[in-house]
Amino acid sequence: MFPKSKRPISVVTGGAGFLGSHLTDRLLAEGHRVIAIDNLITGNTANIEHLAGNEDYKFIKHDVSNYIFVPGEVNHVFHFASPASPIDYLKFPIPTLKVGALGTHNTLGLAKDKKATFIIASTSECYGDPLIHPQREDYWGNVNPVGPRGCYDEAKRFAEAMTRAYHRYHAVDTHIVRIFNTYGPRMRLEDGRVVPAFIAQALRNEPLTVFGDGSQTRSFCYVSDLIDGIFKLSMTDYHEPVNIGNPREMTIKQFGEEIRRIIGTNSELEYRPLPVDDPKVRQPDITLAKKLLGWEPKVAFEEGIVRTIDYFRSRVT
C-alpha cells in the first residue's frame, strides 16, 4: 500500500466521517501514513477532499462489516466507523449493530493479524440514562437494550466487550475511548444532533427545536481537544475504558440561549416531546484522563462554537 519506511501506518475506519477525518489530519501531522476506510453511509468525501494527492494517504470505499483486506504493514487500527447521531442510527439500526459487532470483530482481526495496536471509538451512550453523575469509567450504566436507541448503545457496549476479549485472549494491544458530545467543523448539517440543529435553525431565523423542557444537560467538547485525547490514549499501554470529553455542563435550554446570543438571531425556542430514553444528564468525569494522559480540554466553549458557526454559515441555505 505504501513504500517501506520506518514511519507508522494507521488504518482509520469511518475515515470520511466527522471524527475520522479530523483524526486522520492529526495522524498525518504526527508523521503517520493513513489508510482510511469508509462506506460513506454517513461519511462525506468533502471531509477528505483536502487530502487528494497526498502520498501519505489512501482511501478505500468499503463496509468494514465485511471482511477487510489491507496489504502490507499496519501499526495502528482506529475503529471509528458507525452511524453516531440519533437520526442516523434510527434510520440505519441494523448497519449500526453490524458495524459495532461484525465491524469491531473484523478490525480487531486486522489488528491481531498485523500485530497492530487497536483503538475503538466507544461512547458515553454506554452509560445510557445515567443514575450516577458525573459519569465515571467504573459505572456500568443504565441502558434500555430494546429501546429505539438500543441499536447504538448495545452495539458500542458489545464492541467494548469484544475489544477487551481480544486483549485478554489474543493479547492485542487495545484501547477504548468513551467519547462524550463533540462538536466542530465537518459535522453534518442535518445529522439531528443539537449543535448543528440549533446553529442551522438560528442562522435561518427559524425556531430552535428543544426536546422536553430543555433541562436535560450535555457537555460539549471541541473536536481538536477530543482528537488530542484520543491520540494520547493510543500511545499508552492502558487498556480499560477512558472518558474523553469536556466536563463543562449546560442545559439544552442554556445552550440554545448561547447560540441565539452569539449568532444574534430572534429565533424563539420551540418545545417538543422528549424522545424515548433520551439521557437526562451527561457529564464526563475526566479524572482518569487527567492522571493517565495529562489531558484536559483547552478550547473554550465560545471560541469553539464561533469556529463551528463560521463553518456552517456558507453551508446553510
Measured between alpha carbons, how far is residue 120 from residues 21, 144, 157 in Å? Answer: 15, 22, 11
- Helix (H) or strand (E) run with residue 97 in it: helix 93-114
Residues 6 or more apart whose Cβ sits within 8 Å of residue 95: 41, 65, 83
- The rounded distance, in Å, linking the Cα atoms of 132 and 141 is 8
Which residue among the candidates 152, 166, 183, 222 is catalytic per the annotation?
152
- The rounded distance, in Å, linking the Cα atoms of 35 and 243 is 26
Whether the CB-CB separation of 234 and 226 falls below 8 Å is answered with: no
Side-chain half-sphere CA neighbours of 252 within 13 A = 25
- Peptide linkage before 134 cis (omega within 30 of 0): yes
Whether the CB-CB separation of 147 and 277 falls below 8 Å is answered with: yes
Respond yes or no: is residue 139 known to be catalytic. no
Whether the CB-CB separation of 283 and 247 falls below 8 Å is answered with: yes
Listed residue (53, 26, 23) closest to 38, CA to CA: 23
- Helix (H) or strand (E) run with residue 195 in it: helix 194-203
Cell triple for 61: 470505499
As a three-state string, the secondary structure of 221-283 is EEHHHHHHHHHHHHCCCCCCEEEECCCCEEEHHHHHHHHHHHHCCCCCEEEECCCCCCCCCCC
Cell triple for 49: 477532499
Catalytic residues: 152
